[in-house]
Structure 1
Amino acid sequence: MDCCRQGFELGFRTFVLQGGEDPALTDEQLIKTVAAIRKDYPECAITLSLGEKPRESYERLFQAGANRYLLRHETYDATHYGQLHPTEMSSAKRLQCVKDLKSIGYQTGTGIMVGSPGQTVDHLIQDIRFIENLQPQMIGIGPFLPHCDTPFGKYPSGSLEQTLLLLSIFRLMFPSVLLPSTTALATLAADGRERGILAGANVVMPNLSPQEERKKYTLYNNKASLGAEAAEGLILLQNQLQRIGYEIAFTRGDFSETDYKELEKREL
């Protein structure tokens, strides 16, 4: 709650709660946290990115006040999905979770890792078609980056150029979709975040977590960081974006359904 208070004072109107699929983090704890944020900051959007859960859990979190949920499907191809995940996980379950989120009423996000081990152009085409049919409100596109303590620790990173190309493709497909320029891009290149914006991304996510907590959430090696607390980091980010002619909009950033309605009209 301290992070939300600080973020609100800085002008943030969307809070993102992101984490791994930790069985120690119960639904009751999450619901209590979401409800508290909703009570104290009723005008703000709450976005969750907490992995696969039963539909009932998604429903309870939605009822507690969450607005958005990002769950990357990662790869649509079932065989490729199996190569990337433990045997107890399945592509069918992941895709069902994404569909559940959308049917519940979340502004739903999905997406892919670009350049993940074993990925082919055919896989990417399947992903694009799946996302086209899903019509999500958010799309998370980022390069694969290895972590030394995983089975894929020695694999090469995904391509910055291919990631930027896909950002541009999705921006053309969905003119108003929420499309983040991720920290992973800044990890591949010092100006990666700015290049993501220029390629079509329209969301940046400054980190409100305290410095001492950030090292507990290392998704990949050499993760880019502004190396500053929230207020200082926001100023640095503003300066980076101003250099390419952009300003930060301090709004909820809700998705507009207008684009999809226009698309449906054209298809008819």
Structure 2
Amino acid sequence: MCNQQLIERLNQQHKLSHAQWEQLIATYQPADAAYAQNLAHRLTVARFGRKIFFRGIIEYTNYCKNDCRYCGIRHSNPHLKRYRLSEAQILACCAAGYENGFRTFVIQGGEDPYFTDQRLVPLLRHIRQQYPDCAITLSLGERSYQSYQRLFAAGADRYLLRHETACQALYEKWHPARQTFANRRRCLWQLKAIGYQVGCGMMVGAPFQTVASLADDMVFITKLQPQMLGLGPFIPHSQTPFRHFAAGNTQLTTFILSLCRILKPDVLLPATTALGTVESNGRQQGVLAGCNVVMPNLSPLAVRKQYLLYDNKAGVNENAASGIQNLTDQMAQIHYTVLKGRGDFQPDSALRRNEHD
């Protein structure tokens, strides 16, 4: 079966075998990528119109107990100036975002033991009480089932936890032994069981990654059925063990983004900051490949340069207002309009095009 026939099968059945994923990723040509992009773009416009959901990211801490070998805020990086935002600072970010029309806040940080449930639960309750019309997304890493339950009960709606890779051998090359492949997957299934809208995802072109491991990712995504997917190209950080590896390929990343849209037509799919870092128009390329979410940074400008998972991150010198405006202008250049509302996941094409035209 040729690649374009495989893409059509994916469109009809929303699954492929591992061998079919391998064939598609290993042998695709520019014509196949264009075919997938055109189909993904049509599917996205049919469900969402030419609309992009904006989410406001608040990077609340760069302390992390983990030692992921690719990450700039890893515990073993001695050169990083560490910070934690206070509750007042986090609430000020929410207030600024709300004034700019945002109705989703993404609270993201390293796995910082300081932020216990006893500290996070009152914060989330405060945000939920003050902004009842907003969605709260958390990206706090691996926690216990009981912790996830408490945070959900306090008002969190969504949780982003990249699975990183669905290949255990590769996961173990990226992490020390205390960070286990089994626990990462367990957390994702627990989040789904509790009732969060769940996001997983991976890096494309990361060290030691293979076509087979990318096929593993696509099979895992099909099984998990997440409401959100976050993926972008690998970008090295100069203060990590993976500093000498080359960055991931934008073309392969956008091809896989298109395949993800075809696999899950209703998924919330961000055009990531990493895409915009590798190429100046990377987020525009992502949108044209099937993305429907962009995530501007609401963090205080003073801490932006301390939250670098990879080098040369886009937007670290822009304040929240200018960053929002620049992304709005980028979307307008490709004839897309920004929506700053909640933008909840709605399955089975509940977001009909005529609701947005």
| TM class by smaller structure | over 0.9
**Equivalent-residue separation in structure 2 for 1:38 and 1:90 (angstroms):** 33
Q: 2:287: which partner in 1? A: 197
1:33-68 Cα shifts (integer Å, max 9, x gaps): 111110100110000001011111111000000000
Quick check: 1:223 aligned with 2:313?
yes
**Equivalent-residue separation in structure 2 for 1:20 and 1:218 (angstroms):** 11
Quick check: 1:151 aligned with 2:241?
yes
Count the aligned residue pairs. 260
Quick check: 1:172 aligned with 2:270?
no
Quick check: 1:115 aligned with 2:209?
no
Partner residue of 1:137 out of 209, 223, 227: 227
Q: 2:330: which partner in 1? A: 240
Q: Return the offset for 1:232.
A: 2.0
Kindly provide the amino acid, as one letter, of the partner of residue 161 in structure 2: L
Q: From the CA coordinates, give the structure whose radius of gyration is larger.
A: 2
Contact 1:115-1:159 at 8 Å conserved across structures: yes
Quick check: 1:80 aligned with 2:170?
yes
**Equivalent-residue separation in structure 2 for 1:106 and 1:131 (angstroms):** 16
Kindly provide the amino acid, as one letter, of the partner of residue 136 in structure 2: I
Q: Return the offset for 1:189.
A: 0.4
Partner residue of 1:35 out of 115, 125, 130: 125
Report the TM-score, using the length of structure 1 for normalisation: 0.95
Q: Which runs of 4+ in 1 moved over 3 A?
A: none
**Equivalent-residue separation in structure 2 for 1:9 and 1:178 (angstroms):** 24
Give the gaps of 5 or more residues in structure 2.
Answer: 1-90, 351-357
Between the two proteins, what is the percent identity of the paired residues? 52
1:4/1:170 Cα in 2 relative to 1: closer, same or farther (>3 Å)?
same
Larger RCO (CA within 8 A; separation ≥ 6): 2
1:213-250 Cα shifts (integer Å, max 9, x gaps): 11221111111117322122211111111000101012
Q: 2:302: which partner in 1? A: 212
**Equivalent-residue separation in structure 2 for 1:21 and 1:75 (angstroms):** 19
RMSD: 1.2
1:126-162 Cα shifts (integer Å, max 9, x gaps): 1101101111000011111111111111111111111
**Equivalent-residue separation in structure 2 for 1:33 and 1:140 (angstroms):** 25
Kindly provide the amino acid, as one letter, of the partner of residue 103 in structure 1: A
**Equivalent-residue separation in structure 1 for 2:139 and 2:132 (angstroms):** 20
Kindly provide the amino acid, as one letter, of the partner of residue 191 in structure 2: L
Kindly provide the amino acid, as one letter, of the partner of residue 168 in structure 1: S
**Equivalent-residue separation in structure 2 for 1:154 and 1:133 (angstroms):** 34
Q: 2:192: which partner in 1? A: 102
Give the gaps of 5 or more residues in structure 1.
Answer: 261-268
Report the TM-score, using the length of structure 2 for normalisation: 0.71
1:172/1:86 Cα in 2 relative to 1: closer, same or farther (>3 Å)?
same
